[in-house]
Amino acid sequence: MSETMEIEAPARPIGVYTRPKGNTGWRDWITTVDHKKIGILYGATAMVFFAIGGLEALLIRLQLATPNGTVLGADTYNRVFTMHGVTMVFMVIMPLAAAFANYLLPLQIGARDVAFPRLNALSFWVFLAGGLFLNMAWIVGDAPDGGWFAYAPNTGMIFSPGKGMDYYALGLQIMGIASLMSAMNLIVTVLNMRAPGMTLFKMPVFTWMILVVQFLLLFAVPVITVALFLLLFDRNFGANFFNPEMGADPLLWQHLFWIFGHPEVYILILPSFGIISEVIPTFSRKPIFGYPFMVFSGIAIGFMGWGVWAHHMFVSGIGPISVAAFSVSTMFIAVPTGVKILNWLATMWGGKIRFNTPMLFASGVVSMFTIGGLSGVTHSLAPADTQQTDTYYIVAHFHYVIFGGALLGIFAGFYFWWPKCFGHLLGEKLGKWNFWLMLVGFNMTFGPMHILGLQGMSRRIDSYSPGFGFEFWNMFASVGAFVITLGVLMFVINIIASARKARHEPPVGPDPWDARSPEWFTPNPTPVHNFDEVIQISSLDEFWHRKYGEDEDGRVVRVATAEEVCQDGSATDTHLPSPSYWPLVLASGLPFVGFGLIYTLWFCVPGAVLIFMAIYGWIFEPVDDPDGPHGHGHHDDGDDHDDGPPEETSDEATAETAEEAPVG
């Protein structure tokens, strides 16, 4: 689709068009196109941002621990709570979900890699560029201060004259490109590359939920792209989208933001729903109860998530008919969510439950998310919501769903799939400390916020006067925040301690949890080529069904050991996609373009040069390095070069790229 140069397969590429070699050391990490390494990069980066966002949360709680707090000034407080929200939503939960999706999705569908490995690497580096760009606002001393939802006209030039909201708009725009590319890539992967026999309704629930999330991203990201462009044009090019003096509608931003923003909350929670739908059956030793209901309720949530956005705007004056309609639709969306909770409970019911750490975290999700879901239903009643809006009750609600739902689910995933990624288990003892400290700390911090909110304490205030009865619960919540911190520290210690311990111990077997889904066909840790041979899928929970059968009385009996069922990872003839420098180079150009739009357009020049260079490098580099680190045996040389060469359009919203199909 673009200028192409057919490079003869055996010809040695020259100079800058050489593909990076070797798969060791730091150079490997910055040039990798392996979905597993990219998944680990996503996870590690997100955990660093988690530390930053957590630090911001602790500052907030220090400021609010006592009346008339003086830890932060009002301006700094605004910046801190804004960046806390933006960081946790866009740089922690979303990339952690991307980490699991990247690592596990090809394994769960039995594929060699994602459909477009270089595009996948580009998604990660663009995400990192966006996250660093946004946090750069701290360094220039002008972090965004308009809340994570950035309501215009409050975030227009008149009320936010600094550069903070420009960093916000451009940073989210860059991360939006990353999400969009990743969504397109994973959709194609799931729809096109499933193992033989794996129909859509034999896919693991995790894969299903990730697929739903990618469709939500695909359709939600362009809406916030529009909103962010309008804000940027208003602030920098004199447009009048959000200026009421010129007759603009002050609600336009709210509508655009929440049309994106409500699907976004399902983007945050559904990956966790997927994770615990894998964990709960494994540790209850039962198949998931009502698999079709699990899948269809996930799809239903995906559809209905588009029809509830105005419940964020009940007090903004949208009129009684809109309020009534969105009130009803919001009540309805609780139904598919309730279906999921009942199905998890029914899965546990009568099972031989083992309460290992992943299961503890999964049960934490079921219980905590139920609380958050119920307080969510109270918002759907518009008269009650009118009282709750902008109070700490709302803060309590969304932390119960995002922390109690999404984050605890991600921790369940960490403990469950750690051996898959790193070949050893995380410690159970520290894991239990981690879980209980986080659970108790979480309830101490956010439970009392329901009370504070109903007592009338406003969100986003930087201090409160003594004598309103806010003192005790605020102090209590602040103590809870430090208990959470201890819990997270236990996790960090656990990572280090278990890695050290694993050096002196035999490797974990292929199947530490008696698991069910196809990713466990590969040995632990997953070899670079994933599967030795293509797996044939004949049922949901294929891995489990190969281990267990029925005797003549219909009782479940073990028919094979995990070692017999599992592949040994010894294949050497698998063709691997070659690494590439260009995703990193392309992504590094984007922040310069951002600086250019904020300060002086001259900064755009190096950015454009980098992007241009990267696009041409991308196009001209051979699809495979002849000396590249793929296996020794067969080469599908026939297909290496006949495929669409990468084409690039650096569109305002996306850079879509066609790339070689990976080889299995």
Partner 1 sequence: MADTAAVSHGEGTGTGLSNNKLLMWVFLGSECLLFGGLISTYLIYRSRFGDGPAPGDVFDIPFTSVSSFVLLMSSLTMVLALSALQRGDIRNNRVWLLATALLGSLFIGGQVYEFTTFVREGLTYSTSPFSSAFFTLTGFHGVHVSLGIVMLMSLLISSLRGTLTKERSETVEIVGLYWHFVDVVWIFIFTVIYLVPSPTS
Using alpha carbons, list the distances in angstroms from residue 542 to 19, 64, 421, 520, 521: 38, 52, 20, 10, 9
Q: Which of 121, 177, 216, 220 lies at the binding interface for partner 1 (CB under 8 A)?
A: 220
Query: What is the secondary structure of 281-295 as a DSSP string?
Result: HHHHTSPPTTHHHHH
Residue whose structure tokens are 């590094």: 588
Q: Residue 46 Cβ, how far from partner 1 at the closest point, in Å?
A: 24
- Residue partners of 301: CB distance under 8 A and separation at least 6: 212, 266, 270, 333, 336, 337
**Is residue 461 at the binding interface for partner 1, with CB under 8 A as the rule?**
no
Distance of alpha carbon 135 from alpha carbon 662, whole angstroms = 35
Compare residues 238 and 467 and give the one whose CB is closer to partner 1.
238
Distance of alpha carbon 142 from alpha carbon 144, whole angstroms = 7
Query: Which residue stretch of 46-54, 192-200, 279-287, 369-377 sits at the interface with partner 1 (rule: CB under 8 A)?
Result: 192-200
Query: Which stretches of 440-523 are assigned E, i.e. beta strand?
Result: none
**Is residue 187 at the binding interface for partner 1, with CB under 8 A as the rule?**
yes
Binding to partner 1, residues 381-410 (CB under 8 A): none
**Is residue 567 at the binding interface for partner 1, with CB under 8 A as the rule?**
no
**Is residue 508 at the binding interface for partner 1, with CB under 8 A as the rule?**
no
Query: Which residue stretch of 3-11, 79-87, 132-140, 438-446 sits at the interface with partner 1 (rule: CB under 8 A)?
Result: 3-11
Binding to partner 1, residues 525-564 (CB under 8 A): 534
Q: Residue 216 Cβ, how far from partner 1 at the closest point, in Å?
A: 11
Binding to partner 1, residues 252-281 (CB under 8 A): 252, 256, 259
Compare residues 56 and 659 and give the one whose CB is closer to partner 1.
659
**Is residue 11 at the binding interface for partner 1, with CB under 8 A as the rule?**
no
Backbone angles phi, psi at 247, to 5 degrees: 95, 10
Distance of alpha carbon 457 from alpha carbon 445, whole angstroms = 15
Q: Which of 11, 139, 246, 321 lies at the binding interface for partner 1 (CB under 8 A)?
A: 246
**Is residue 10 at the binding interface for partner 1, with CB under 8 A as the rule?**
no
Distance of alpha carbon 254 from alpha carbon 151, whole angstroms = 6
Q: Which of 97, 126, 230, 323 lies at the binding interface for partner 1 (CB under 8 A)?
A: 230
Q: Residue 599 corresponds to which tokens in the numbers above?
A: 């300060």
Q: Which of 98, 101, 184, 294 lies at the binding interface for partner 1 (CB under 8 A)?
A: 184
Nearest-CA neighbor of 595 among 94, 122, 90, 142?
A: 142
Q: Which of 46, 52, 115, 169 lies at the binding interface for partner 1 (CB under 8 A)?
A: 115
Distance of alpha carbon 294 from alpha carbon 316, whole angstroms = 35
Compare residues 210 and 508 and give the one whose CB is closer to partner 1.
210
**Is residue 601 at the binding interface for partner 1, with CB under 8 A as the rule?**
no
Q: Which of 170, 212, 223, 540 lies at the binding interface for partner 1 (CB under 8 A)?
A: 223
Residue whose structure tokens are 């260009």: 582
Q: Residue 315 corresponds to which tokens in the numbers above?
A: 């007090």
Q: Which of 5, 11, 139, 496 lies at the binding interface for partner 1 (CB under 8 A)?
A: 5
Distance of alpha carbon 340 from alpha carbon 358, whole angstroms = 18
641 close to 11: Cβ distance less than 8 angstroms: no
Q: Residue 544 Cβ, how far from partner 1 at the closest point, in Å?
A: 23
**Is residue 221 at the binding interface for partner 1, with CB under 8 A as the rule?**
yes
CB atoms under 10 Å from CB of 500, counted, come to 10
Backbone angles phi, psi at 557, to 5 degrees: -130, 150
**Is residue 193 at the binding interface for partner 1, with CB under 8 A as the rule?**
yes
Backbone angles phi, psi at 542, to 5 degrees: -55, -45
CB atoms under 10 Å from CB of 321, counted, come to 8
Q: Residue 451 Cβ, how far from partner 1 at the closest point, in Å?
A: 39
Binding to partner 1, residues 93-112 (CB under 8 A): 111-112
Q: Residue 7 Cβ, how far from partner 1 at the closest point, in Å?
A: 10
Q: What share of the chain is helix, strand, coil (3-state, %, to 5)?
A: 65, 0, 35
Q: Residue 44 Cβ, how far from partner 1 at the closest point, in Å?
A: 28
**Is residue 282 at the binding interface for partner 1, with CB under 8 A as the rule?**
no
Nearest-CA neighbor of 105 among 218, 189, 195, 214?
A: 189
**Is residue 180 at the binding interface for partner 1, with CB under 8 A as the rule?**
yes
Compare residues 187 and 475 and give the one whose CB is closer to partner 1.
187
Binding to partner 1, residues 634-653 (CB under 8 A): 636, 638-639, 642-645, 647, 649, 651-653
Distance of alpha carbon 249 from alpha carbon 256, whole angstroms = 12
**Is residue 617 at the binding interface for partner 1, with CB under 8 A as the rule?**
no
Compare residues 390 and 636 and give the one whose CB is closer to partner 1.
636
By CB neighbour count within 10 A (0-12 exposed, 13-18 middle, 19+ buried), where does 380 fall?
Answer: buried
**Is residue 157 at the binding interface for partner 1, with CB under 8 A as the rule?**
no
**Is residue 82 at the binding interface for partner 1, with CB under 8 A as the rule?**
no
Q: Which of 154, 240, 322, 443 lies at the binding interface for partner 1 (CB under 8 A)?
A: 240
